[in-house]
Structure formats: structure tokens, C-alpha cells
Amino acid sequence: MSAVISCQHLTHYYGKHKIYEDLSFEVPQGRILGLLGKNGTGKTTTINILSGYLKPRSGQCRIFDQDIQTMDPALRRQIGLLIEGHVQYQFMNIEQIERFYAQFYPGQWRREAYYELMAKLKVAPHQMISRMSCGQRSQVALGLILAQNPELLVLDDFSIGLDPGYRRLFVDYLREFVKAENKTVFLTSHIIQDMERLVDDCIIMDYGSILTQQPLQQLLDTVHRFTARVPEGYDLQLSDPELYHPSVLRGKLELHSFLPLEAVQQHLQQAGVPCTDLQMESLNLEDAFIGLTGKY
């Protein structure tokens, strides 16, 4: 599979504050890749670099094998962009915005896809976008992307401000569209349950670097939560790069790891942790994310 997005050795700083260094990743054609990370790990920075609205300190991003900074404008026909907060032109109404965008995408614009989604919104065709709720605006933004019918979708925090109903509607519509048409998606979201329903692959970012990048199912199959009993009042002093965020609460040790049960037991023994009854649990994506990145 060829890479639709290829970012190599990205480094970016805001002033002297390092966001990340030497970050590289690829998004293969036909895959949905979710970028997960705590606030400040550089998700929006990455989206901004990918959309061409931020020049990284060093490194290069290519989309459809063209450098983003010098991309042929016509190539943007094949990239659907959803800005954080579902921002759209506030001064237009549902019909005007469709008429405006349609002229830029001759031959590929699918008016019916837009109006099919708009029919689900209980708003008049002449209602201004400025008077819509965030949920309604998200449907307008999604409808426009579906009508544009691009090969690549870049979605920045698509679930922000949406109630569960609109979130589900957005995810279901998007997934159906992407899978039916073999589109490529790069997205971020704060709501990890939505990501789990949507993504094929995920990148989990930590401060300054990528913590892991792998297919979602592989991640869920390999990362586990481990719990064990430790003596009451035991002061845990454990520093092992293979064991993520170990903590003790009321005699219960908890940690996360990609290692199998036996290997974790071995690591704990080598570290001299007096634990008993070591258990391994499977996780959903949210638990895996918190386990790997920590609660704080």
C-alpha cells in the first residue's frame, strides 16, 4: 500500500518550547489513522503542518507525494479538511455554502450527498450557519466533505462540542463513506470511544515523541493492564521503560505494558517488587490510552 501521507523527521518548537522532535509517520492509502495524545502533545500542531498552515522547524510532510509547502493547488481538490470546532462560513446559509463550494469541484461534487445529510437536520434551507448549534454545524461541515468526495480527509478534533447523538451520527456516516469509497483519513479527537469505532490504526503521542503507532486491533491485543497485591504501605520505586505508569493504591499495584504476563512477572521480580496474585486484563482504547500516557 502506498502512503498517502508521509511525514519524515518533523521537529517543531513554539519559541523555546519543544513540541516534538524527529517525528515520522505514514498513513497508507485506504486506512483511517487516529492521532491520540493528551493536551499539548502536538495533535493540532501536526494537523496544522499537514494542512499547510504551519511550517515545521525542520522535516518534511508529503501528501500524494507532493511537498505540502509547495503543493499544486489543484491537489487540494482531493483533500477534505475539517477544522477544529466545525468552523464554516458564518455568513452563509445551507444553500449558499453548497453553491459556493460546488463551483470549486467540477466533476466530483456530489450535491445529493450533502442534501441527504441536510435533510436529517431540522433546519430551514435559508437558516444562517451562524445561528446553528455546534451539532448542526458539524453536519454541514461533514456534508460538504462528503459532497467534495476527496481521496483524503483530515479531521481536527471532529467530536469537539458534539452531543452523543451527533457524535454517533458523524462517526457512522463518516465510517460508511470512508469504507465504501476506500478513502484515507487522518483524524484527531478527544473522545476516544469515537476513535475506537472509527480508526484502523492509531498513533499515541507522548510529550515530544510518538509513544506507539500500530493497527488498533494489534494495540488492543498487545497492551494490557496488570494488577497485583503488594504489602500494605509498600512504597513503589519502579523505573522500567517496559512497564508504563506503575502505581500503588491501598495495597493494589497497577501498571500497563505490551509484555506478556510472564515477562511482566520477571521484570517485577528483577526490580524486587514483593507482589502476589499478578493478573492481566484486556483493555479498550480509552483504558489503553490512559494506561500508556498516564492519568496526569
Partner 1 sequence: MNNMFYKEYLKTRWYLLLMWLTTMGFAGYGLLRLHRVMALHGVSHVWEVMLTRDAIFVDLLEYVPLICGLVLALVQFVPEMYHKCLKLTLHLPVSHLKVVNQMLLFGVAAILVCSVCNFLLIGLVASQVLAVELWSRMLLTALPWYLAGLAGYLLASWIILEPAWSRRIVNIVIALLVLKVYFISSQPMAYVEFLPWFAIYTCVLLSLSWISICRFKEGKE
**Is the Cβ–Cβ distance between 36 and 195 less than 8 Å?**
yes
The pairing of strands 224-229 and 79-82 is: unpaired
Binding range to partner 1, per CB under 8 A, among 1-9, 17-25, 95-103, 250-258 = 95-103
Between residues 77 and 167, which has the closer beta carbon with respect to partner 1?
Answer: 77
Does residue 52 interact with partner 1 by CB under 8 A? yes
Does residue 58 interact with partner 1 by CB under 8 A? no
Instruction: From 33, 52, 56, 59, select the one nearest 204 (Cα to Cα).
Output: 33
Question: Three-state DSSP class for 252?
Answer: strand
Among 41, 46, 88, 139, binds partner 1 (CB under 8 A): 88
Among 6, 18, 29, 105, binds partner 1 (CB under 8 A): 105
Residue type, 140: V
- What's the CA gap between 285 and 268, in Å, rounded? 25
- Nearest distance in Å: CB 248, partner 1: 42
- Nearest distance in Å: CB 115, partner 1: 19
Does residue 104 interact with partner 1 by CB under 8 A? yes
Among 4, 5, 32, 81, binds partner 1 (CB under 8 A): 81
| CB-based burial, 37-66: b 16+ in 10 Å, e otherwise | bbeebbbbbbbbbbbbeeebeebebbbbee
- What's the CA gap between 230 and 277, in Å, rounded? 9
Contact map string, positions 2 to 41, toward partner 1, x by CB under 8 A: ----------------------------------------
Handedness of CA 274, 277, 282, 285 (dihedral sign): negative
- The residues binding partner 1 (CB under 8 A) are 48, 51-55, 73-77, 79, 81, 83, 85, 87-92, 96, 99-100, 103-105
